[in-house]
Chains A and B, each alone.
Chain A
């Protein structure tokens, strides 16, 4: 159990007659974990139960090897949370706020102040840290939320839609920071997001929750390898020629709405497909294996979940 970051055992949460979580049992090791699921399916509820923002109806949960029900408050010394909604403690400047958050997690004042500034540097905040939070833009508020969630050096970090409201540059920066936290510094990251591109980029494990039940818990590479043998081909022109040629080879294919050609070539590598494109004398721009694997897998997983009672 000690190498598990999150573990639950028959975790249930009901809001009246509605079951938000229905006997969810999962064991998650350290890593970058993507938490996916349709709206209202229970993924946000799972995070809230683990953080004790909502009481569990029944079942047990462990974070970092300790039980949430009994030791929740002390576990949170080592757990960080970046909420989705706009929330902060009012009336303080940025650096005071992050220092205060560090103290609330148990750091003594001097260490808190020092780490607050280090974390504000890490998230790329400059002189704004001396201004009051009420004057901050969306991008700065998101960085501040990230800073306050890592200031006490947590072992696991929960992020709920961390790129919400950020412009494209801001999104790239925050995602890079989150990626570095796991890859370079060993802090496990649980990313709950509706943007599958982000999860694809950062995460190595995926958990899908639908209708309150755990549908999938697997590594991303496993998921993608199940979609092996598919490729997305980007050509300058001649998509129909390619489709015809593929059909002659017996490979199922279709032209996607964005003009790319999706081919199921069944082979272990791209050699045969490349040869075919060459014989057709087409100009190849890009070729992407197991394209949109996560998205297709997600849709498929939900369909099977809906089918089963």
Chain B
């Protein structure tokens, strides 16, 4: 056929399902976020943190077995210290269900909550991309005229934030757990560190869901980019002020801080209090040193205010959902 048809042609293929379209929205959003070079730098920083964590896990792992390099090093300082260290480490090696578990749980608690701050920053960078810019350019009309509903749009956008948080938070966490335990001196570290893994997954998945919805809600309040970023930063950073104010009489004010609520949730999930008791009651010598910890720290660890935190978070989520239903409409 000499002359080919370069005009309009019909398409008779198979349509993809609704989850494909939702994933398309999520992927498109994520691509948009990663176009920002500062975002890419932040992702690199998060994964560098994973490297640090792996190093820390390695060092701590070494501390929990006898005949390790650390014990030999203490010998070079003081032979009595070496005796003491040797005795302690051999006890620790014989009870990995306490030593490995408590150590990794503690390490991952701090690492998780530290990275969370970076994730807040990551969301602050991309929050205009979520819903604000779509509101200002009337994109919701285009979305609504396609084969997606409002709910699909929101699910897709949630997916964007989820994907972002996997890149900056969950990914480094899981990688550091896996590689850290791979480099551990004994294989049974994997088994005993499972508790830490479960806690990490539970806390991070819950928080990711909460943060996704919150980010979408804040993003939908205003079509102006600066306003969205400002609101998110206020939500994140002003929390500290509320916690301070709460010291002076109204303890419930603390729950206005998102970071505080999430921290309480972390404490409740990671159960540091239980670990503290386990360590104190079982580890010789070392355990009694823990008695020296300040009482209010112990109190904080033993009884996190997770009920209040949960209620506050649920209220915030309901508000976010309400904002989304109200604002995300075709014009």
Residues of A within 8 A of B (CB): 48, 51-54, 72-74, 76-77, 79-81, 83, 85-92, 100-101, 103-108, 111, 115, 118-119, 121-122, 148-150, 152-153, 180-181, 184-185
Contacts and interface: CB of A to CB of B under 8 A. Distances in A.
A252 to B, nearest CB: 47
B11 interface: yes
Interface residues on B, range: 35 or more
A153 B139 contact: no
Contacts of A92: 32
Given A104-B146, A104-B147, A104-B148, A91 B24 contact: no
A191 B210 CA distance: 44
A153 B12 CA distance: 9
A146 to B, nearest CB: 12
A88 B10 contact: no
Contact of A153 (B11, B152, B331): B11
Interface of B: 6-11, 13-18, 20-21, 24-25, 28, 32, 35, 129, 133-134, 136-139, 141-149, 152, 330-331
B141 A101 contact: no
Contacts of B9: 118
A88 B139 contact: yes
Given A103-B21, A108-B16, A85 B134 contact: no
A118 B9 CA distance: 8
Contacts of B331: 85
Nearest to A158: B145
A48 B142 CA distance: 12
A153 B18 CA distance: 18
> Ordered nearest first, which 6 A-B pairs have the shortest CB separation?
A87-B138, A106-B15, A81-B145, A104-B146, A153-B11, A53-B330
Contacts of B14: 108
A199 B246 CA distance: 68
A107 B139 contact: no
A148 B6 contact: no
Contact of A90 (B8, B133, B145): B133
Contacts of B149: 72-73
Given A91-B133, A100-B24, A111 B141 contact: no
Contacts of A89: 134, 137, 139, 142-143
Contact of A91 (B15, B129, B148, B330): B129
A181 B8 contact: yes
A88 B8 contact: no
Nearest to A77: B147
A121 B134 contact: no
Contacts of B16: 103, 106-108
Nearest to B138: A87
B157 to A, nearest CB: 12
A219 B16 CA distance: 38
B97 to A, nearest CB: 49
Contacts of A107: 11, 13, 15-16
Contact of A101 (B10, B15, B129, B142): B142
Given A88-B139, A122-B7, A152-B11, A83 B24 contact: no
Q: Counting chain B CB atoms within 10 Å of each CB, which of A74, A76, A107 scores highest?
A: A107
